[in-house]
Structure 1
């Protein structure tokens, strides 16, 4: 069996990424404390819901920070992959908590809508402005890394949605101050919750697919099998597995039945050609091939292990 992999991906600056996460964590702790106090004093559910969302941000950012640190740890005999999937797990946890928080907000919004209360709108306005500035700065810190890292994307989405929620709370505060539309508080809370679900669902699905070792959507397994079958001396490609380990690694594992009893050096040449082909066309950078000749095993493309 031969196993080969390339290192064709670029690396972020983990120290800078970690520093940006720490700054965002500290900012969100300050915002959360301020909004909880302000929400209790003003009676605003939307401000308290924004504080709850901010608190979930703090938790998610801490998880992201820990995951970012874990990925730097080296592999060992007990952990042969190291902690490469820590950031995917963090993305899953963050997306799940985002949706749970949203459901709780919807329940509270319905309760408050039936019995709207007079709200101290000045506090709502000023604290929402503080949250917009704090989360806006955090969003800028994480924007670059969010484009290439699922874990950072989950943290970025948390902060972006919270900034948008704070904008909505600000608008609501202004409406309550100048038009006494106190029912707007509940409507905004409901809107914020729906937005959280919409933003978190896609990330939850994608991280679940990676954790479940599903084949990436961009990789057509049957087409790859047909193309490898066209290689010289290849008789049959079977027992295929394709999965994504983390943001950087896509693995292909397969058995190849050869039409003749080739030498190891000939196999190495064919393997190298396969590796270059699947990387160039499908960005698969880890290839593990088991060579066979007249070997008695199941020849189906997909075999249940």
Structure 2
């Protein structure tokens, strides 16, 4: 009978840990600004469908709370006036917000720089 109390206590503790793990994991990911679960290749394909977009690279995405995702990327565009880039920005922001539920989008337009870069930039130590 002396072992029943500690065994029940351990079982209850394990149950509580099991039930709280998803919330704890999500909290840690938010605090560490972990990358959200997004299909980055699909995002790139969709962004490349926008008129004038030649390449998408150097992306960053992070989750700042349970509902909001921040996203930044460099986009290569055809050489054009800056005033002609604004509609492209708007269209890409709308696409990312509606289809991928990204709340804050920051895009950097480029013409030549990074044109052949991959979606993710790797540190030289990773190669």
Cα distance in 2, alignment partners of residues 235 and 256 from structure 1:
7
Cα distance in 2, alignment partners of residues 297 and 211 from structure 1:
33
Q: CA RMSD in A?
A: 1.9
Say which structure is richer in helix.
1
2:74 aligned partner: 255
TM-score, length basis structure 2:
0.85
2:52 aligned partner: 233
Say which structure is richer in strand.
2
Cα distance in 1, alignment partners of residues 49 and 59 from structure 2:
16
Gap runs ≥5 in structure 2: none
1:220 aligned partner: 39
Highest Rg: 1 or 2?
1
Deviations 1:165-199 (CA, angstroms, capped at 9, x unpaired): xxxxxxxxxxxxxxxxxx43223212111112102
2:14 partner SS = helix
Q: What pairs up with 1:71-82 in 2 under 5 angstroms?
A: none
Cα distance in 2, alignment partners of residues 267 and 281 from structure 1:
21
1:284 aligned partner: 102
**Aligned in 2, Cα 1:225/1:297: closer, same or farther, shift over 3 Å?**
closer
2:82 aligned partner: 264
**Aligned in 2, Cα 1:277/1:194: closer, same or farther, shift over 3 Å?**
same
Gap runs ≥5 in structure 1: 1-112, 117-182
**Aligned in 2, Cα 1:296/1:240: closer, same or farther, shift over 3 Å?**
closer
1:196 partner SS = helix
For the 8 Å contact 1:239–1:298, the answer to whether it is kept is: no
Q: What pairs up with 1:89-168 in 2 under 5 angstroms?
A: 116=2
Matched, 1:243 2:62: yes
1:246 partner SS = coil
Cα distance in 2, alignment partners of residues 249 and 304 from structure 1:
26
Give 1:236 shift. 0.3
Higher RCO, Cα 8 Å, sep 6+: 2
Q: What pairs up with 1:50-89 in 2 under 5 angstroms?
A: none
Give 1:206 shift. 1.6
2:24 aligned partner: 204
TM-score, length basis structure 1:
0.38
User: How many aligned positions are there?
Assistant: 123
